[in-house]
Structure 1
Amino acid sequence: MFGLLEQNVLGRRCVWVNGAVIVGAGPSGLAVSACLREQGIPFVVVERADCIASLWQKRTYDRLKLHLPKKFCQLPKLPFPEEYPEYPNRKQFITYLENYAEKFGIEPQFNESVESAKYDEMCGVWRVKTVSTLPGSIQSETEFICQMLVVATGENAEGVVPEIEGLEEFSREVIHAKDYKSGEKYDGKKVLVVGCGNSGMEVSLDLSNHNAKPSMVVRSAVHVLPREIFGKSTFDLAMMLMKWLPLWLVDKLLLILAFFVLGNTQNYGIKRPSLGPLQLKNNHGKTPVLDIGALEKIRSGAIKVVSEIKRFHRDSVELINGEILEIDSVVLATGYRSNVPNWLQDNVLFGKDGFPKREFCNGWKGKRGLYAAGFTRRGLAGASIDAIKISQDIGIVWKQELNHKKKESSNS
Structure 2
Amino acid sequence: MSVFPGVEEITPDYLETAYDKDIPQEHIYGPFKPDPQNLKHHDVNSLAQGWLVEFNQTLSQIAKDPNQLDKFLLPHTGWKDHLSLTDDLRTFINPNEIKANVPKNIDKIGEFQFDKQADYRYPTGISLTTVHEGDEHTPPIQWIQLYLKYKSNFGIGRGSIKLVSVESNDDAPIGLKILSVFTLLDEFDGIPEQIGRNRPTGTKHGENIQRKTWLEQRSDETNYQGDHQPLALLVGGGQSSITIAARLKSFGYNVLIVESNLNIGDNWRKRYKFLSLHDPFYYHRLPYIHSDTFPIYPSKDQFANFLECYAKMLELNIWLNTSVTKAGFNSDTKKWEVSVVNNSTNDVKKIFPNHLIFCTGHSGEPNIPHFPGESKFKGEIVHSSQHTSGANYQGKKALVVGACNSSHDICQDFYEQGIKEVTMLQRSSTCVISSDDGVRTNCEGVFDAEGPQIDTADVLLHGNPIWLTNAIMRQQYRKSSKLDGKLLTGLKKQGFETNAGMGGTGLFGLYYRRGSGYYIDVGCSTLIIENKVKVSHGEIQEFTENGVILKDGSKIDGLDIVVLATGYTNMKETAKKIVGEEIGSQLNPVWGFDKEGEFKSIWRRSGFENFWFHGGNLAMVRYMSKRLALQIIAKQEGIKYQNLL
Inter-partner Cα distance in structure 1 for 2:374 and 2:297: 37
Which whole-Å deviations, capped at 9, do the CAs of 1:176-235 have from their partners, x for residues lacking one?
2222222222222111111111010011011111221111111111111111118x6244
Instruction: Report the equivalent of 1:76.
Output: 287
**1:20–1:147 contact (8 Å) kept in structure 2:** yes
Tell me how far apart the structure 2 counterparts of residues 97 and 292 of structure 1 sit (CA, whole Å): 23
Task: Tell me whether 1:371 sits opposite 2:590 in the alignment.
Answer: no
Match of 2:251 in 1: 39
Counterpart secondary structure, 2:430 = coil
Which string of whole-angstrom CA distances, capped at 9 and with x for unpartnered residues, describes residues 245-299 of structure 1? 5333333333333324432533322223463324333333324201111111112
Matched residue type, 1:228: D
1:63 lines up with 2:63 in the alignment:
no
State TM-score, norm by structure 1: 0.84
Contact 2:265 2:305 (8 Å CA) reproduced:
no
Runs (5+) with no aligned partner, structure 2:
1-219, 448-459, 640-645
User: In the alignment, which residue of structure 2 is the partner of 1:302?
Assistant: 532
* Letter matched to residue 479 of structure 2: L
- Closer, same or farther: CA 399–124 of 1 in aligned 2, 3 Å: closer
Deviation, structure 1 residue 118: 2.3
Q: How does 1:135-154 map to 2 (within 5 A)?
A: 137=345, 139-154=346-361
Shift of 1:3: 7.8
Give the superposition deviation at 1:29.
Answer: 0.8
CA distance in 2, matches of 1:219, 1:165: 18
Match of 1:323 in 2: 555
Instruction: Report the count of equivalent residues.
Output: 384
Whole-angstrom distance in 2 between the partners of 1:238 and 1:24: 34
Q: CA deviation at 1:48?
A: 2.2
Which of the residues 598, 603, 622 maps onto 1:384?
A: 622
Would the alpha carbon gap of residues 314 and 354 (structure 1) be closer, same or farther in structure 2, given more than 3 Å must change? Answer: farther
CA distance in structure 2 between the partners assigned to 1:142 and 1:325 by the alignment: 51
Conserved? CA contact 1:197–1:289, under 8 Å: yes
Matches within 5 A, 1:119-268: 119-134=329-344, 137=345, 139-212=346-419, 213-229=421-437, 233-237=440-444, 246-263=472-489, 265-268=491-494
Range with greater deviation from structure 2 (356-365 or 195-204): 356-365
After TM superposition, give the deviation of residue 85 of structure 1 in Å: 1.8
Q: Could you tell me how far apart the structure 2 residues matched to 1:5 and 1:159 are?
A: 33
Q: What is the aligned-residue identity percentage?
A: 25
Distance in structure 2 (CA, Å) of the matches to 1:234 and 1:168: 47
Report the Cα distance in structure 2 between the residues aligned to 1:373 and 1:264, rounded to whole angstroms: 39
1:293 correspondence with 2:531? no
Instruction: Give, as a single letter, the amino acid of the residue that structure 1 aligns with 2:411.
Output: S
Deviation, structure 1 residue 394 = 3.2
- In the other structure, the counterpart of 1:272 is 498
The higher relative CO (CA closer than 8 Å, separation ≥ 6) is in 1
Match of 1:22 among 234, 246, 255: 234
Judged with a 3 Å threshold, the aligned counterparts in structure 2 of structure 1 residues 340 and 5 are, in CA distance, closer, same or farther, namely closer
CA apart distance, 1:45: 1.3
- Computing the radius of gyration from Cα coordinates, the structure with the larger value is 2
Find the residue that maps to 2:395 and give its secondary structure.
Answer: coil
Residue 85 of structure 1 aligns to a residue whose secondary structure is: coil
Q: CA deviation digits over 1:340-363, x for unaligned, max 9?
A: 221135358733x56598542863
Task: Work out whether residues 24 and 151 of structure 1, in 8 Å CA contact, stay in contact via their aligned partners in 2.
Answer: yes
Give the AA of the match of 1:391: A
Quick check: 2:261–2:321 contact (8 Å CA) kept in 1? yes
1:406 corresponds to: none
Evaluate the alpha carbon distance shift between residue 150 and residue 214 of structure 1 in structure 2; reply closer, same or farther with a 3 A threshold.
Answer: same
Preserved contact between residue 399 and residue 561 of structure 2 (Cα < 8 Å):
yes
The 2-side partners of 1:84 and 1:75 are apart by: 12
Structure 1 gaps of 5+ residues are: 8-14, 402-412
TM-score where L is the length of structure 2? 0.55
- Residue 324 (structure 1) shift: 3.4
Instruction: Name the CA shift for 1:307/1:239 in 2 (closer, same or farther; >3 Å).
Output: farther
Which amino acid is the alignment partner of residue 126 of structure 1? Answer: W
Residue 103 (structure 2) aligns with: none
Which residue type is aligned with residue 27 of structure 1? Q
Cα 1:356/1:397, change in 2 over 3 Å: farther
For residue 31 of structure 1, report the CA deviation from its aligned partner: 0.9
Counterpart position of 1:344 = 579
Deviations 1:97-145 (A, max 9, x none): 11101101124112332222222112221222223322xx3x3332211
Contact 2:224 2:351 in 1 (8 A): no
Residue 591 of structure 2 contacts residue 601 of structure 2 at CA under 8 Å; is this kept in 1?
A: no
